[in-house]
């Protein structure tokens, strides 16, 4: 399953959710690949730590190869980095993505990531792929949406985030209609949740009233997340028994179960059509 974590609003915990969900999926035995498409490179630094400095290939090299075919063989494989965590790999980002964007747009390379990612998954047999995106609707976020099966939307319980969710929903619907008919919003991930606070509960209730797909469990607000960032160590590998770590693990298990159910139903329909 290829999932993109996307919200056009910044500061909603996109990177934290991507990396900790990926780590949780790896922790329960899934072979997981994270692709960092944000030129700020936060996921890359979070999962690789100091080793990020030594990366010789990044996703920017792949995109540049689609313009200059002799540079990189047009393959994502050489950019894949093994993290120090079992079952977890990463394709790191680069600040060079910002400079490449105009060139990629002018040459209409929007489908190259999907083609290369399909080949990579076939070759390496990843169970789960998560893509971290920039907080904007640009070439890289569109490339990831076209490549994905499902979209996860981080929500940090404020009015601006609620408006951003509507924008994401519209974008996903448009991409599905024009390029990727199987693309769907899998759910909204509630982040920075404070059970005793009134405003977060009201914000969530307003989404539920609109029948938006809200995933559970909600992710609690915790200072441990900042400590995790500082140590470049995902929560489940830092303190697996912590409440927030367990929430990520529970959410990861539910996503795996949902993915299996969809594959089973798809297989049943296919068999009936034989």
Most confidently modeled range among 199-203, 264-268, 269-273: 199-203
Give the chain's domains with CATH numbers. Answer: 2-261 (3.40.50.300)
Question: pLDDT tens for residues 238-260?
Answer: 999 999 999 999 999 999 988 77
Q: In the predicted model, what is the mean pLDDT of residues 96-120?
A: 93
Inform me whether the pLDDT recorded for 60 exceeds 60.
yes
Supply the pLDDT for residue 273.
37
Inform me whether the pLDDT recorded for 216 exceeds 70.
yes
Burial 56-65 (b: 16+ CB within 10 A, else e): ebbbbbbbbb
Q: In the predicted model, what is the mean pLDDT of residues 213-217?
A: 95
Question: pLDDT tens for residues 124-154?
Answer: 999 999 999 999 999 999 999 999 999 999 9
Is the bond preceding 217 in cis, omega lying within 30 degrees of 0? yes
Say what the alpha-carbon torsion angle 225, 227, 232, 234 is, to the nearest 10 degrees.
-40
Inform me whether the pLDDT recorded for 90 exceeds 90.
yes
Supply the pLDDT for residue 274.
30
Q: Residue holding tokens 């298990």?
A: 253
């Amino acid at each position: 399953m290829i999932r993109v974590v996307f919200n056009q609003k910044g500061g909603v915990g996109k990177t934290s959710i991507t990396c900790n969900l990926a780590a949780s999926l790896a922790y329960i035995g899934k072979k997981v690949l994270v692709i960092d498409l944000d030129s700020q490179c936060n996921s890359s630094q979070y999962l690789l730590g100091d080793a990020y400095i030594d990366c010789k290939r990044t996703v920017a090299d792949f995109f540049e190869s689609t313009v200059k075919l002799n540079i990189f063989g047009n393959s994502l494989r050489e950019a894949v980095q093994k993290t120090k965590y079992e079952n977890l790999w990463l394709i790191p980002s680069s600040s060079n993505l910002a400079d490449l964007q105009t060139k990629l747009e002018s040459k209409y390379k929007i489908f190259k990531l999907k083609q290369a990612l399909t080949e990579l998954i076939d070759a390496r047999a990843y169970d789960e792929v998560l893509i971290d995106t920039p907080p904007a609707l640009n070439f890289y976020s569109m490339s990831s949406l076209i490549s994905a099966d499902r979209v996860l939307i981080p929500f940090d319980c404020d009015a601006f985030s609620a408006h951003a969710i509507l924008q994401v929903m519209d974008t996903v619907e448009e991409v599905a209609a024009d390029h990727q008919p199987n693309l769907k919003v899998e759910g909204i991930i509630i982040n920075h949740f404070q059970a005793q606070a009134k405003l977060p509960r009201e914000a969530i209730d307003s989404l539920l009233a609109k029948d938006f797909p809200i995933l559970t469990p909600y992710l609690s607000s915790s200072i441990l997340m900042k400590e995790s960032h500082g140590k470049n160590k995902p929560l489940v590998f830092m303190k697996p028994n912590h409440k927030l770590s367990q929430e990520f693990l529970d959410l990861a298990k539910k996503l795996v179960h949902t993915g299996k159910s969809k594959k089973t139903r798809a297989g049943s329909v296919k068999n009936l059509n034989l």
